[in-house]
Amino acid sequence: MADFVLIIHFLYVLFVTVSLPVIWLGAWFKLAFVRNRWFRYLHLAAILFVVFESVAGIACPLTIWENALRQVETDSGFIQGLLHQIIFYDVPEHILTIVYITFAGLVAITFKWIPPD
């Protein structure tokens, strides 16, 4: 179950990070879906949630849930090791907060450059 939560966490991170260059490339290639309001506002809300957590000093609920499940489950496998290397970094929290705020700023500016329909 902990691996399932980790995979959901990874997909969330993937959505937040990959959507921005997809929007830029999609606008370049004139793909209509990058201007979809639901997609764009969901993307903005996802990164703003991360920024809020970070600024407020709140741990990610998915991380808390996974860690609680890992206390019960003793196995750790390939998926856990791989995804943890991808989404968790050993840097000071304030650095991550700066990165999150900067990224959220880029997402917000993209609304001006490539407005949703």
Q: Where are the alpha helices (DSSP H) in the chain?
A: 2-28, 37-56, 61-72, 78-87, 93-113
Q: What is the pLDDT of residue 73?
A: 67
Domain limits for position 78: 2-113
For 2-58, the pLDDT digits (tens) are 889 999 999 999 999 999 999 999 999 999 999 999 999 999 999 999 999 999 999
Q: Which whole number is the average pLDDT over 87-112?
A: 94
pLDDT at 74 over 80: no
Q: How far apart are CA 97 and CA 54, in angstroms?
A: 6
pTM of the model: 0.87
Domain count, the chain: 1
Q: What is the mean pLDDT of the chain?
A: 92
